[in-house]
Structure 1
């Protein structure tokens, strides 16, 4: 990302504007069991959802779908409706800012062997219980649990 975009986001956050990202919650069924995909972040290597900043002329759902392809190499049908949002603290340069992440379920139909950020991230299919234990954000844990409840095979 160009430094101008970083500076603009930091100014907006300091000015009290809410920053927003879009995330995909990738899922599929294996032998009738729900599986969730998590990816590692590039900087902290924590497991999280594929997510990114809004994109011009794209809906947040489309941005989530594109981020899933770039960060995890997966494609599928993204829900047009969010299942909610969670908050986390994003480090931008030397400043931490709160970011609201809107979450969109993504029913994965294709897992590519190669993808743009393959050398920078790991991806892993997990049961909802395992995925819930690996993520740091309590609100994200609850989305994973709700997906388990809402999408039983």
Structure 2
């Protein structure tokens, strides 16, 4: 295997879950985006899988903690995206994130991470353009293009 370092440890990807918070405004979907704590980039609420919770339940918990919203979480993922999580020691960990739509029914005025993040409702096009991960942008666009089931 030319070009590879045999001493380099290959780590598997860390699995995470995320909520894609959305609501209807004047018949159009809007996506709730939040800023990350460190880089202030626009992201969706995400975090690690949780013992005792299904992945959709864990995604809904992240939405409550990071974005201050509650609602109906879809039990089916709309897809995955990958990103490199920067670690405090300067290394990066590769993460793969399963995304679950969350129809927002309640938006809290105060929530656990309110002092650490901004949140903003965006059109799907604005949200897709705001994120840095191309496959997350594609997920947002694909979700927005999917007809609502009533």
What does residue 82 of structure 1 align with? 77
What is residue 133 of structure 2 aligned with on the other side? 137
Unaligned runs of 5+ in 1: 1-13
Runs of 4 or more above 6 Å deviation: none
- Specify whether residues 152 and 62 from structure 1 end up closer, same or farther in structure 2 by C-alpha distance, changes over 3 A only: closer
**What is the rounded CA distance, in whole Å, between the counterparts of 2:94 and 2:134 in structure 1?**
15
**Does the 8 Å CA contact 1:33/1:152 hold for their aligned counterparts?**
no
1:40-84 Cα deviation digits (max 9, x unpaired): 000000000000111111111111000000000000000111111
TM-score (norm 1): 0.88
Distance 1:135 1:55 in 2: 25
Flag structure 2 segments of 5+ consecutive residues without an equivalent.
1-8
Change (3 A) 1:41 1:127: same
Whichever structure has more helix as a proportion of its residues is 1
Within 5 Å, give how 1:27-42 maps onto structure 2: 27-42=22-37
Number of aligned residue pairs: 140
Larger radius of gyration: 2
Alignment of 1:44-59 (within 5 A): 44-59=39-54
Report the Cα offset of residue 97 of structure 1: 1.1
Matches of 2:123 and 2:148 in 1, distance apart?
A: 12
Task: Tell me the C-alpha RMSD between the 2 structures.
Answer: 1.3
8 Å CA contact 2:70–2:105 kept in 1: the answer is: yes
In structure 2, how many angstroms separate the alpha carbons of the residues matched to 1:47 and 1:16? 27
**Residues 66-112 of structure 1 deviation map (CA, whole Å, 9 limit, x = unaligned):** 00000000000001111110000001222101100110000111100
**Contact residue 34 and residue 128 of structure 1 kept, 8 A:** yes
Contact kept in structure 2, 1:80 and 1:104, CA below 8 Å: yes
